[in-house]
Structure 1
Amino acid sequence: MPRERSLRRRATIHDVAAEAGISRGTVSRVLNNEPYVSEGARRAVEAAVAKVGYVRNSAARNLVTQKSRAVALIVHEPHSLVLDDPNIGNILIGTNAVLSEADHQMVTLIVDSQRDSDRVVEYLRGGFVDGAIILSARTGDSISEAIAELRLPASFVGHPPDAPDIPYIGIDNRAAAESIVTRLVETGRRRIGMLATGLDRDSGQDRLAGFRAALGDRFDGDLVVRHPFYSYGAGVEGMTELLERAPDVDGVFAASDAVAAGAMDVLHRRGIRIPEDIGIVGFDDSSWALRCVPPLSTVRQPAETLGRRAAEQVLSQLAGVAATEPGILLSTEIVWRDSA
């Protein structure tokens, strides 16, 4: 026996007006929270909305206003790293908090391949978001170029050297790296290597530059091991290679806490004492730093605040307020623990 399936008709603003016994215009003013509506009318509309099950059709409203009230958070990282990196999570939390307070939706777009880049560019061209925040953009990023072409309100977290003229929020990675490596040198280390990651973006390049500046004439390029990603696996592979190149290394600067954690596990497995035999420092002061044994000396960067400020930059542009300065650098601090 065939079964009939009926779909419930979506309640409209006309249904609300009929139930409340007032005009459609008054209902619209109540729903849009406009002034000059009596308290009695407001209560009647609210009761009618609840009774007929009216839900505002945001898509239809957006067609009229030409606004989506959505902002894209574009993350240029492998999927596995997005889930594993506390900094990305904290930036996401900060971004979402500000957008939520402003009644905007955050749309997270993860870019893990050229196919992803092409898809995101087409998505942005489709007008599905009003603005964008770009995290971990690489040199020669086609998404950044598309955003500039579209004149989409946007903000970088970080600042690629070839970036279009788009506002950014970041930290002074070079100065922070130089400060913590200088302190590592002051502990008496003589052969200091670096596990350098993320060199296709400004943060990785600047941290390597800071490492080099801190060492000066003592810098040895053979003691720099490179890897694409800020990941635990990069620390494992990098520390293994560094020990093969220089068994007498006695200090290590890891470009992130996750990288440092992987390096420290290699040292523990080989019976190399931290900090007696090798002192090691990281960067971020993420949850990785406190998981390490001993706890990791590192640079604290305000990840959640970076996300908040980036969202504020985009919302200001959406409100028609031009940026007063091209970029903002937030302060960092060294957190010295027992690993060095």
Structure 2
Amino acid sequence: MTPPAPRPKRATIFDVAAEAGVSRGTVSRVLNGEPYVSETARTAIEAAIAKVGYVRNTAARNLARQSSGAIALIVHEPHSVFVDDPNIGNILLGTNSALSAADYQLVTLVIETDRDSERVSGYLGGGFVDGAIIVSAREGDPISQAIAELRLPAVMIGRPDNQPRLAWVGIDNRGAAQQISERLAATGRHRVGMIAAGLDRDSGRDRLAGFQDALGARYDADLVSRQPFYTFDAGVAGMTELLERDPAIDGVFAASDAVAAGAIDVLRARGRRVPEDVGVVGFDDSAWALRSQPLLSTVRQPAASLGARAAELVLEQIRSGGTSGDGGVVLDTEVVWRASA
């Protein structure tokens, strides 16, 4: 059996210096972007790096600086939701864009079970990241406690009533839900219900509270279906439940666009026309809203901007040498009215 070929030797800074005919210190100054290097020497060093195949040892540099150069994006969702929810994807892209501009690496960590929470808490304590951004945190989340104990710079997207409190960036879920629910009711609907989801987090509870604010005395708790996640399947289950409770229902506020799409699918299968028989509105203005037939009336939330702003807040904490307080940033939303209601 032929033995495996030996691994090629990694080029070092000394190899670059020898090839360029300069000192190791001069190479180091070029690699660190420092001044006081002649253009002739800089050109020779860049050519030498390309020739010898030198790749900078980022791990060693970060160890010396006591920095990992990475930020964790921690997502508290089942794997299926992580893959299917366009908002999470847009938050991730916005976060990555802001971190990339600052030369930081994004590390995504998905939490679905208690074991995941323990694993991620240990990972955060290992010095592998310089900060964290938490998406979809639940009440009593152990990750926030671990972050506080580690004094790790961190920001939550959303603002759950956790102890300890962390800095956050979010939207006015309650006000936006009230606004679109009032507009739905104003179209002449008499039996308006809601498919509420994610009630173990602030966004879900606030959207339900906004719906109650909008309906006032007309609010009927029997016309609220409570579902665990912001998913298409939750919309199917919720709409089926509401039709069984009250076949005369003529308006539905779905807690997300994915939920609304599932609800519309059930209504169509039951021979109910949207919006003629039942008006449906959602929340997010995600890709689900534009795939829906008819196009979905919804609340537009700036998912990518939420991710980017959260990244900026974490980076500000890292640069200042501080940790997160309990301050918050609220970004604007907008009702987008389309044909579904």
TM-score, with length taken from structure 1: 0.98
The Cα of 1:3 is off from its aligned counterpart by 3.6
RMSD: 1.3
Secondary structure in 1 matching 2:320: coil
Tell me if the contact between 2:166 and 2:326 (Cα under 8 Å) persists in the aligned partners. Answer: no
Change in CA separation of 1:12 and 1:19 when aligned onto 2, cut-off 3 Å: same
Q: Deviations over 1:28-55 (max 9, x none)?
A: 0001111111101111111111111110
Change in CA separation of 1:125 and 1:325 when aligned onto 2, cut-off 3 Å: closer
In 1, the alpha carbon distance for the partners of 2:65 and 2:321 equals 19
Corresponding residue number in structure 2 for 1:334: 335
- Quick one: which amino acid aligns to residue 54 of structure 1? Y
- Quick one: which amino acid aligns to residue 294 of structure 1? P
Secondary structure in 2 matching 1:68: coil
1:201-220 to 2 correspondences below 5 Å? 201-220=201-220
Corresponding residue number in structure 2 for 1:268: 268
Q: Deviations over 1:253-281 (max 9, x none)?
A: 00000000000000001110111111111
The Cα of 1:166 is off from its aligned counterpart by 1.6
Q: Deviations over 1:277-328 (max 9, x none)?
A: 1111100000100111111110000111001100000011111076798101
Change in CA separation of 1:281 and 1:218 when aligned onto 2, cut-off 3 Å: same
The Cα of 1:4 is off from its aligned counterpart by 5.4
Corresponding residue number in structure 1 for 2:161: 161
User: Is 1:133 the equivalent of 2:137?
Assistant: no
In 2, the alpha carbon distance for the partners of 1:259 and 1:209 equals 18
In 2, the alpha carbon distance for the partners of 1:331 and 1:40 equals 52
- Quick one: which amino acid aligns to residue 184 of structure 1? L
Tell me if the contact between 2:301 and 2:333 (Cα under 8 Å) persists in the aligned partners. Answer: yes
The Cα of 1:163 is off from its aligned counterpart by 4.6
Corresponding residue number in structure 2 for 1:75: 75
The Cα of 1:186 is off from its aligned counterpart by 0.6
- Quick one: which amino acid aligns to residue 193 of structure 1? G
- Quick one: which amino acid aligns to residue 76 of structure 2? H
Secondary structure in 2 matching 1:75: strand
Corresponding residue number in structure 1 for 2:53: 53
In 2, the alpha carbon distance for the partners of 1:284 and 1:2 equals 59
Question: 127-136 or 12-21, which moves further after superposition?
Answer: 12-21
Tell me if the contact between 2:144 and 2:162 (Cα under 8 Å) persists in the aligned partners. Answer: no
Q: Deviations over 1:25-84 (max 9, x none)?
A: 110000111111110111111111111111001111111111001000000111111111
In 2, the alpha carbon distance for the partners of 1:213 and 1:3 equals 73
Tell me if the contact between 2:165 and 2:325 (Cα under 8 Å) persists in the aligned partners. Answer: no
Specify every segment of 5 or more residues in structure 1 that has no aligned partner in the other structure, as ranges: none
Tell me if the contact between 2:195 and 2:225 (Cα under 8 Å) persists in the aligned partners. Answer: yes
In 2, the alpha carbon distance for the partners of 1:38 and 1:303 equals 46
Question: 2-11 or 25-34, which moves further after superposition?
Answer: 2-11
In 2, the alpha carbon distance for the partners of 1:142 and 1:117 equals 7
In 2, the alpha carbon distance for the partners of 1:302 and 1:325 equals 22
Corresponding residue number in structure 2 for 1:187: 187
1:1-340 to 2 correspondences below 5 Å? 2-3=2-3, 5-320=5-320, 326-340=327-341
Change in CA separation of 1:282 and 1:4 when aligned onto 2, cut-off 3 Å: closer
In 2, the alpha carbon distance for the partners of 1:34 and 1:307 equals 32
In 1, the alpha carbon distance for the partners of 2:317 and 2:72 equals 14
- Quick one: which amino acid aligns to residue 263 of structure 1? A
Secondary structure in 2 matching 1:329: strand
Identical positions, percent? 67
In 2, the alpha carbon distance for the partners of 1:38 and 1:75 equals 47
- Quick one: which amino acid aligns to residue 182 of structure 2? T
